[in-house]
Amino acid sequence: MKTAATSAEWCDANQAYLVTEFARLKLRLGAEHDEHTIAVRLEEAHAALPAPAAIDTLSELFGLSAFERDLLLLVAGVEMDAELGRVCAAALGHSQAPRPQATFGLALAALEHSHWSALAAMGPLRRWRLLEVDDSAGLVNGRLRIDERVLHYLAGVNYLDPRLQPLLSLVPAPQIMGEKHRH
């Protein structure tokens, strides 16, 4: 049974894990960081999680590859970590850009295990609308955007998507139920 204390502990640990994941991505994009220190911090942050991190749960549920996982983290990181946004802008040659962005081309060049199918329309990232592409600049150079609901979930804020609210209704609990089902 989860308690408020456990939930708060997980939320803090999940956010600490996200921060170290963002540091790992900054390193992949050429930021000046100590690779060994980041690896140690990542292991420590992962070990401190009382339950799987939100990104790991999401990756498992949607069957994301390692590259798709990192791509999702990269796009989330641009929104959540100003330094990662600056590193992405610098890597794209847009150091004065008003709004930092992540692109598929940047991810293909910088992240490990890259594959073209990650942004296929029927791939999990776009099929389930975890990411969207502003393709006015083309698929490779278009700005990637993360769904707001997904961004909040990664940050540890879990709520029912408001777009689904009108489609759902409360079903009363059954009056008669076997003990095993009730448990």
Q: Which pLDDT score is estimated for 1?
A: 41
Q: What percent of the chain has pLDDT over 90?
A: 46
Confidence of residue 4 (pLDDT cuts 50, 70, 90): very low
- The pLDDT mean for the chain works out to 86
pTM confidence score: 0.82
Mean pLDDT of 102-113: 88
Distances (CA, A) of 35 to 9, 40, 98, 99, 172: 27, 9, 29, 28, 54
pLDDT computed for residue 142 by the predictor: 79
The string of pLDDT tens digits covering residues 9-63 is: 999 999 999 999 999 999 988 877 788 999 999 999 999 999 999 999 999 999 9
Higher pLDDT, 64 or 137: 64
- DSSP calls for 4-16: HHHHHHHHHHHHH
3-state secondary structure of 51: coil
CA distances from 113 to 5, 35, 90, 108 (A): 38, 18, 22, 9
Tokens representing 158 are 């879990």
Half-sphere exposure of 150 (CA within 13 A, CB side): 24
* 81 Cβ contact partners less than 8 Å away, ≥ 6 residues apart: 19, 22
pLDDT number for residue 105: 85
Q: How far apart are CA 177 and CA 14, in angstroms?
A: 37
Is 162 in contact with 147 (CB distance < 8 Å)?
A: no
